[in-house]
Amino acid sequence: MTHFRDEDTLVREIARQLSRFAGDGVRLGVGDDAAIWKPKPGFETILTSDWFLEGSHFLRDKHPADAVGWKCLARATSDIAAMGGEPRCFLLNLALPAVCTEKWLTGFLAGVRHASRFLRCALAGGDTTRSERISISVTVVGEIAAGRAILRIGARPGDLLYVSGTLGEAELGLRLLRKGRGMARSSDRALHKHLYPEPRIALGRWLARRGLASAMMDLSDGLSSDLPRLCRASGVGAKIELGKLPVLRGLNMKQAQLVALHGGDDYELLFAVPPPKAATLPEKFRELRLTQIGQLRAERRIQVVDEDGTAKALTAAGWDPFRQD
């Protein structure tokens, strides 16, 4: 890749690297003042926008550039999965130090390109500028059949609470990355999940089409931070059972439960299912485990019941950029 003399050349290079396919519904992509998008008839548009900032969300000397590219798109797309929708296109805002416009940018764009193909989500526009630290803001556009989106609002007392996959894996990966020297290599499974998370699009879509979930969100900051958000939106409380959490193997049980409760970045789905529908829910969706971890209730507290049957209040200890420790 050549060194960029100006912004127009940079924009053209990004478009060349990423515009390998046109997204369904994208009427006009990169190159004009704005993009034009039209959902299928009978569908609504889902919009979400996420930060991915050097220092806060990744470290330039630890996270491979292609993982930064993959993850910035994957995590924004996870919000589309969390509504039961399908991603269609994205806008990429990229602010870079001049020193990152060559090798780093090549790696980054390769990661965005792989995620873009894997997620079937096409580049439609964005903005580039220069800055001292790498700043990324990704807006993802998805669609869903009108009225079919699964919101956070809609859960009722008595609904059973489920999560997909395993909890705490990405947090363990982050710890491995912090301990390691230099750039991370993703041969470890937990590290791989931290670097290249896969939003649960197929599961979310399936739950929305079947009308199985009364409320849903993705787990980005950790169960102990995210569950209270779902409960607050629905005006309910919850009781979860520590012994039921789909924890990591290979750690001692106490540690595994702690990272499952508080670890962030898993991008698994948390969803509520009314009891009559829960009977129809399989143990696995494709290869992905679905685990009932507790139940919602009218009393607005959130409690964790340990193996002895002792109930304690759940304290939010997931990731929060503004919390003062």
- 42-101 binders of a second copy (CB under 8 A): 44-51, 53, 55-57, 79-80, 82-83, 85, 91, 93, 95, 98, 101
Only segment of 58-66, 128-136, 260-268, 297-305 that touches a second copy (CB under 8 A): 128-136
Residue 169 interacts with a second copy (CB under 8 A): yes or no: no
Q: State the first-to-last Cα distance of the chain, in angstroms, to the nearest integer.
A: 43
Of 93 and 106, CB closest to a second copy: 93
Residues 190-249 that bind a second copy (CB under 8 A): 217-218, 229, 233
12-15 long-range contacts, Cβ below 8 Å, gap at least 24?
Answer: 13/105, 13/109, 14/92, 14/94, 14/109, 14/123, 14/126, 14/128, 15/123
Q: Where are the alpha helices (DSSP H) in 214-318?
A: 223-234, 253-262, 275-278
Minimum Å gap between C-beta 146 and a second copy is 7
Minimum Å gap between C-beta 256 and a second copy is 26
Minimum Å gap between C-beta 104 and a second copy is 15
Residue identified by tokens 């649960």 is: 200
Residue 124 interacts with a second copy (CB under 8 A): yes or no: yes
Query: Please, what sign has the CA dihedral across residues 177, 181, 182, 183?
Result: negative
Taking residue 18's Cβ as centre, other Cβ atoms within 10 Å add up to 24
Q: Is 43 within 8 Å of 145 (Cβ atoms)?
A: yes
Bridge partner list, 292: 162
Of 93 and 303, CB closest to a second copy: 93
Residue identified by tokens 């020297």 is: 181
Minimum Å gap between C-beta 85 and a second copy is 8
DSSP per position, 92-114: EEEEE-GGGTTHHHHHHHHHHHH
Only segment of 113-121, 122-130, 239-247, 304-312 that touches a second copy (CB under 8 A): 122-130
Of 252 and 324, CB closest to a second copy: 324
Only segment of 6-14, 170-178, 239-247, 299-307 that touches a second copy (CB under 8 A): 6-14
Task: Determine which residue in the list 2, 287, 322, 325 makes contact with a second copy, applying CB under 8 A.
Answer: 322
